[in-house]
Amino acid sequence: MIADDFSHVDEWGPEKVVTVAEPRSGMRGVLVIDNTARGMGKGGTRMAPDLTVSEVGRLARVMTWKWAAVDLGFGGAKAGIRWDPASPDKELHLRRFVRALANEVPSEYVVGLDMGLGEDDAAVVQDELRDRGAAVGSPRETGGVPYDQWGVTGHGVAGAAAAALAWTGGAVAGSRVVVQGFGAVGRAAARRLDALGAQVVAVSTAAGAVHRPDGLDVPALLAAAAHGDGLVHHVARDVPGARLLPAGAELLLDTDVLVPAARQDVLDAQLAAGVRARVVVEGANLPADAAALRVLHERGVVVVPDFIANAGGVVAAAFAMDARYSVFPVEEQRVLDAVADRLSRNTVDVLDAARRAGEPPHAAARRLAQDRVRAAMDRSGRPGRVHVRL
Ligand SMILES: NC(=O)c1ccc[n+]([C@@H]2O[C@H](COP(=O)([O-])OP(=O)(O)OC[C@H]3O[C@@H](n4cnc5c(N)ncnc54)[C@H](O)[C@@H]3O)[C@@H](O)[C@H]2O)c1
């Protein structure tokens, strides 16, 4: 039975919701195109056994704001397949899903990576529709732009940190940095900040934090990353002047920049009151809860919001979209430079807007994104105006 209501539609969208189902194979999927006022709907494709239509709808809306916040000309969209990505039938379901959406892919939606889908899956989509333009995030071997391997998100986080420091009148060179989480994002951020002349004084994993007030040797840390989370124990034992702290203690260390790049909700109001960094750059999604953000704002700590600071993947995906039909490989350095440049500018835009309005950067970034989408809707004669003219 189809629910007979349009309650999921609001002033922004979604413009189009397509559910696909194949009774015989059990394949079920959904595509949500949220808002295309600023450009074609773009967002990753998720595969999960408990995927819901409303989850995909929410994620499509987040993409509408994300593209507008980074000021790139795409709209919001997202797709999902309800299936276990660990199942041996994964490829079959993926093929059936894109085949069922052949009217929309790639003219209205291009498959991208999200939870449950990797580079090879993008290549499968291209193969199924015999169209290189049907997916982004595919391997280099099929002409793709493997931007996850390049550490674009961490690279962009470092660029945002440098811009925020400059905005406060400081400089990245010589500044002290603490990085929480030494995974894909934390490692790439530490590497880039080190290259920019910052002093990484602490890093952490789920197993603890290692602190050295005179700075850690980042290339040696990266080489030791093979130890996984136990890296902090090795460094604390082997490096003179380094000491081990319990996980979480790094958030309160004396530093110029704090980069939470591990998990969500690691900063609450109480911890935020003890943060000594001047600048917090949110590498992780939602690392600080709403109360923590209020406290940081009241204390004058500059926060670069997650969807500005960690948007490196989004910027790189835009490159990959452009490169879909090109036979010339995209240069890694070109993408990294574009990511850093774009995120630095966005950081300054958001911090300026926040200062002008006297509001926290998160609120300013959200408003900026909404204003941009609304302006595009107005300029293209969408609702309201057309209605009035008729
Ligand atoms: N990978 C990306 O491109 C990307 C893009 C945007 C946002 N993010 C967000 O960034 C965050 C990190 O992603 P990732 O891909 O680097 O993950 P990852 O799994 O590669 O690394 C996570 C790191 O955090 C550490 N960690 C976990 N719990 C911790 C704790 N309590 N204290 C300290 N360290 C802890 C882990 O030990 C590990 O080093 C996530 O919030 C993710 O959603 C990632």
Task: Tell me the catalytic residues.
Answer: 78
Residue 86 has pLDDT above 70, yes or no: yes
Q: Please report, for the domain that includes residue 192, its CATH number.
A: 3.40.50.720
pLDDT of res. 390: 45
Domain boundary pick from 142, 175, 207:
142
Residue 243 belongs to domain spanning = 151-329+336-390
- Report whether pLDDT(61) > 90: yes
Cα-to-centroid distance, 234 and ligand 1 (Å):
20
Residue 225 and residue 347 share a domain: yes
Whether 282 and 260 have beta carbons less than 8 Å apart is answered as yes
Has residue 10 been placed in a domain? no
Selection from 32, 66, 26, 18 nearest residue 317 by Cα? 66
Question: Is residue 363 one of the residues assigned to a domain?
Answer: yes
The angle that helices 312-323 and 152-167 make with each other, rounded to 10 degrees, is 130
What's the pLDDT tens digit per position in 304-355? 999 999 999 999 999 999 999 998 888 999 999 999 999 999 999 999 999 9
> Looking at residue 67, which CATH number applies to its domain?
3.40.50.10860
The pLDDT, as a whole number, for residue 373 is 97
Q: Read off the pLDDT of residues 199-228 as tens digits, 9 standing for 90 and up.
A: 999 999 999 999 999 999 999 999 999 999
Is the Cβ–Cβ distance between 67 and 37 less than 8 Å?
no
352 C-beta closer than 6 A to ligand 1: no
Q: Are residues 247 and 290 in the same domain?
A: yes
Residues 86 and 202 in one domain: no
Query: Which residues contact residue 349 at a Cβ distance below 8 angstroms, ignoring those fewer than 6 apart?
Result: 71, 368
Q: Is 263 in the pocket of ligand 1 (CB under 6 A)?
A: yes
Name the pTM for this structure: 0.89
CA distances from 216 to 187, 204, 232, 367 (A): 13, 12, 11, 39
Which atom of ligand 1 sits closest to the CA of residue 185? 16
Same domain, 196 and 103: no
Q: How far is the CA of 27 from the centre of ligand 1 (A)?
A: 31
In a domain, 288, yes or no: yes
Testing ligand 1's pocket by substitution, the residue of 179, 203, 205 carrying the most ligand atoms inside 8 A of its CB is 205
Does residue 98 sit in the same domain as residue 128?
Answer: yes
Tell me which of 20 and 7 has the higher pLDDT.
Answer: 20
Ligand 1 in reach of 184 Cβ (< 6 A)? yes
Q: Which residues pair with 42 in a beta bridge?
A: 76
Q: What is the mean pLDDT of residues 65-88?
A: 96
The pLDDT of residue 1 is above 80: no
Residue 387 has pLDDT above 60, yes or no: no
Closest ligand 1 atom to the C-alpha of 286?
Answer: 41
CA–CA distance from 347 to each of 135, 160, 353, 383 (Å)? 29, 6, 10, 31
Q: Are residues 280 and 309 in the same domain?
A: yes
